[in-house]
Chains A and B, each alone.
Chain A
Amino acid sequence: MSWTKKVLRINLTKGTCTPEPLNMEWVEQFLGQRGLATKYLTEEVPPTTDALSPENTMYMITGPLTGTMASTAGRYSVVTKSPLTGAVACSNSGGFFGNEMKCAGWDMIILEGKSPMPVYISINDDKAEILPADEIWGKSVWETDEWLHAKHQDPQLRIAAIGVPGEKGVLYAAIINDLHRAAGRSGVGTVMGSKNVKAIALRGSKGVTVNDPKAFFETTTAAKKILAENAVTGEGLPALGTQVLMNVINEMGAQPAHNYKDSVFAGASKISGEAMLEPRESDGKPNLTRNAGCFACTISCGRISTIDPQHFSIQNKDDLHHSYHANSGGLEYEAAWALGSDTGVDDLDALTYAQFVCNEQGLDPISLGSTIAAAMEMFEEGVITTKDTGGIELNFGNAKAMIECTELVAKAEGFGLELGQGSARFCAKHGRPELSMTVRGQEFPAYDPRGIQGMGLGYATSNRGACHLRGYTVASEVLGIPIKTDPLETEGKAGLQIAFQNATAVFDSVGICVFTSFAWSLEDVAPQLDAACEGDWTPERLGEIGERIWNLERLYNEAAGVGASADKLPPRMTTEPATTGPAAGKVSGLATMLPEYYAERGWSPEGGVTAETKTRLGL
């Protein structure tokens, strides 16, 4: 049985660490990770709770496959109520933290209440302690990592931590584990900071077992073979990482640029995955050193990169952490577009530097880049001036300005603190809410909904605010996985989104990476689950669980006041046609797709979850 069936509940107000049994009835209904923790959240945290109050609770949770030999099975999720969106937040991370939690004997760690002073949590198998963090409060994730490793003198300690932005209320602070893997979106790091928790340091020696080892080896080996033989997971992702998308999306005219004013970026190829392989002049080395894997990952899309030693970003900065001059976690596509094309910056090393800052300090680069881009547009329109920016000439394409803003948000100082509230609040404050490319207050990811129609519907309906990882129809509309659909067409996109949303909810609840879904379907996941833990896990049942999870999240959001009323895109997407590329002249067909979506979901025409649907799903 791959569950430990144990939960560690940490009450920070009282200073207690209490083990309790995992609710196995809920496991039957919601599987694990995203689904299961959302169930805990809905039962324990009233939807109207202020996300940054002690009444909010944070769940760090593994899935049933986490810690096993199934490919990519090292994932964990952080579920809480988001301070950025007011909706349910669920951020998923790889690295080696999730498996270590399982190895220590815990399926889930719950942080509730608020510590009266800065603390970190130390967990060594059964022993859990709340320890003072005065010495690391105000430090970066990387400094915290070093301090904890030195303090505990254990090179194999696995650490998840927040940086300064998480402490100081930047609303899109991430939790970073293993130096550069992020539970990135929706401000889960901000919630951790609001509880005065700096870090969680884990060490587990118990290991994980499975229900039927023989079947498990057979089925996971077969599933790994599928990944290895699939051109995307076996070749494309290891070689070029997610950044391989930069040129594809740009060529097809869905590459957001200049705060979504444009959908083609002239400098795209200079900041693409291909560009990361080209040797640079200064030292003859490419940006990319190698690919790396998270725990158990046989895909290994992770980027290990260096910044050009001659690049201005790292010159004469004595206070920079030594890792800026060495190998570290490099650019992902979502960071590259947001910090790059969206701000008009085509300087690969500037983007790598900004990515390092996001890793070091725990920031979501999507929200950060998007917010800077919105500020740039307002600067160019004269809505804000150097008076507001603290002297920064915030024009599109200004790499130095992008870096300065990034550093300011990382320090949560001055103009940075304002940008740290996210694009929705920033734009609203300056009287131009329509310039914020957000849904439910969360910044868009990298696909223009005018050029990829299904994604517009996905952003509008995503339970955690605009997001590509909730229903990645790009796979079908652009890449032809599992079948090719026309990105400019709205017909059939409601059903496509729902299928992707439900399936993804399952992948996110198993303990594996969603990237496996480029090669695996639920038919491939079910037998692995079935061998790992008791229960009868069929693809059909998993599909239903996916739908149940989606509806549970939706119900929570409805009660939180961010249900159907928030299912909308910024006016730029629905009223300003794209100007270049194949989508020229097009706007998002959300108005057409949304009613179909509600109908196919079994919701009311107004977008409410109906009593029938609830009954059907046992909610």
Chain B
Amino acid sequence: MSKMTVKLFASLMEYLPVNSTKSHGFDYKITDSTTVGYLIDDLKLPRNVIHIVLLNGVYLDAETRDETVLSEGDTLGFWPPVAGG
């Protein structure tokens, strides 16, 4: 088992596991074949709300998102649709 970091932002913060410090992310255990899609389902994140997914800061396209396999030390961030300026 190896570990990576999951960060949930904005309205997705309500899906944070109990006791995790808010926007600083939490550890998530993965196997060699854990995909982003698996993680989304495991954490019960609402797919219709997820808009921006950054894997180590790089945007994951919606098409390839589910199949992307996670690696040790990765950081995965989720956002609903947001914008500012």
Give yes or no for direct A-B contact (beta carbon below 8 Å): yes
Contact call B10/A515, Cβ cutoff below 8 A: no
Contacts of A278 in B (CB 8 A): 22
CB contact list, A1-39 vs B, under 8 A:
none
Number of interface residues of A (CB under 8 A): 44
Confirm or deny: B69 has a beta carbon within 8 angstroms of a beta carbon on chain A: no
B4 within 8 A of A: no
CB distance from A65 to the nearest CB of B (A): 20
Contact A484 B84 (CB under 8 A): no
- Which residue in B11, B13, B24, B58 is a CB contact (below 8 Å) of A582? B58
Residues of chain B within 8 A (CB-CB) of A232 are 81-83
Given the known interface contacts A244-B10, A274-B23, A484-B59, the answer about A231 and B80 at a Cβ–Cβ threshold of 8 Å is: yes
Q: Do the beta carbons of A274 and B57 come within 8 Å of each other?
A: no
A514 surroundings in chain B (CB, below 8 A): 85
Interface residues of A in 240-262 (CB under 8 A from B): 240-245, 247-248, 251-253
Q: How far is the CA of A230 from the CA of B82 in the complex (A)?
A: 10
Q: Report which of B23, B49, B57, B61 forms a contact with A484, defined as CB distance below 8 A.
A: B61
Interface string of B1-30 (1 = CB under 8 A from A): 000000101110100000000111000000
Q: A231-B51, A272-B23, A480-B52 are in contact. Are A248 and B85 (CB under 8 A)?
A: no
Contact: A252 with B57, CB < 8 Å?
yes
Q: In the complex, what's the smallest C-beta–C-beta distance from B23 to chain A, in angstroms? A: 4
A472 within 8 A of B: yes
* Contact, CB under 8 Å: A240 / B10: yes
Q: Which among A231, A474, A487 has the greatest number of chain B C-beta atoms within 10 A?
A: A231
Q: Which residues from B are CB-within-8-Å of A243?
A: 84
A169 to B59, CA, bound (A): 44
Q: Is the interface of A mostly helix, strand, loop or mixed?
A: helix
Count contacts between A and B, CB distance < 8 Å: 103
Q: Of all chain A residues, which has the CB nearest B25?
A: A269
Residues from chain A with a CB closer than 8 A to the CB of B7 are: 247, 251
Interface hits, A476-526 → B, CB 8 Å: 478-481, 484, 486-487, 514-515, 518
Residues of A within 8 A of B61 (CB): 484
Q: In whole Å, how far is A310's beta carbon from the nearest beta carbon of chain B?
A: 21
What is the minimal beta-carbon distance from A44 to any residue of chain B, in angstroms?
31
Q: Which of B71-85 contact A (CB under 8 A)?
A: 75, 77, 79-85
CB of A236, distance to nearest CB on chain B (Å): 4
Q: B52 and A242: CB pair below 8 A?
A: no
**Cα–Cα distance between A274 and B77 once the two chains are bound (Å):** 14
- Say if the beta carbon of A237 comes within 8 Å of chain B: yes
Whether B22 pairs with A236 at a CB distance below 8 angstroms is: no
Q: Does A244 contact B82, Cβ atoms closer than 8 Å? A: yes
Pairwise interchain contact A581-B57, C-beta atoms closer than 8 A: yes
Q: Is the CB of B23 within 8 A of A236?
A: no
- B84-A245 in contact (CB<8A): yes
Closest residue of chain B to A334, judged by CB?
B85
Given A236-B10, A274-B13, A582-B58, decide whether A475 and B83 contact each other with a Cβ distance below 8 A: yes
B54 contact set on A, CB distance < 8 A: 248, 251-252
Query: Is B56 among interface residues, defined by CB-CB distance under 8 A?
Result: yes
When C-beta atoms are compared, the residue in chain B nearest to A252 turns out to be: B57
A275 within 8 A of B: yes
**Of A231, A245, A275, A582, the contact of B23 (CB 8 Å cutoff):** A275
Residue in B22, B57, B82, B85 whose beta carbon sits within 8 Å of that of A251 in the complex: B57
Q: When chains A and B are docked, how far (Å) is the Cα of A581 from the Cα of B56?
A: 7
Inside 8 A of B56's CB, which chain A residues have their CB? 582
Contacts of B52 in A (CB 8 A): 248, 478-480
Tell me, in angstroms, the Cα distance from A235 to B9 when the chains sit together.
Answer: 13
Q: Are A479 and B23 in contact (CB under 8 A)?
A: no
Q: Which residue of A lies closest to B76 (CB)?
A: A251
| A120 nearest CB across to chain B (Å) | 32
Residue A333 contacts which of B9, B80, B85 (CB distance < 8 angstroms)? B85
Q: Please determine whether B83 and A582 come into contact, CB atoms closer than 8 angstroms.
A: no
Interface residues in B33-68 (C-beta closer than 8 Å to A): 49, 51-52, 54, 56-59, 61
Across the interface, which residues of A come within 8 angstroms of B80, CB to CB? 231, 235-236
Closest A residue to B49 by beta carbon equals A231
- CB <8 Å contact, B82 and A269: no
Interfacial chain B residues near A582, Cβ < 8 Å = 56-58
Measured in the bound complex, the distance between the Cα atoms of B79 and A255 in whole Å is 17
- In the complex, whether A69 has a CB less than 8 A from a CB of chain B is no
Separation in Å of the A216 CB from the closest CB of chain B? 27
Q: Apart from A232-B82, A245-B85, A515-B83, what are 5 other A-B pairs with CB-CB below 8 Å?
A: A231-B81, A235-B81, A236-B81, A236-B83, A484-B59
Query: Would you mind naming 15 contact pairs between A and B with Cβ atoms under 8 Å apart?
Result: A231-B80, A232-B83, A235-B80, A245-B84, A247-B7, A247-B9, A248-B52, A274-B10, A333-B85, A469-B85, A478-B59, A479-B52, A481-B83, A518-B83, A582-B58
Q: Which 4 A-B pairs have the closest CB atoms?
A: A242-B84, A231-B81, A245-B84, A236-B82
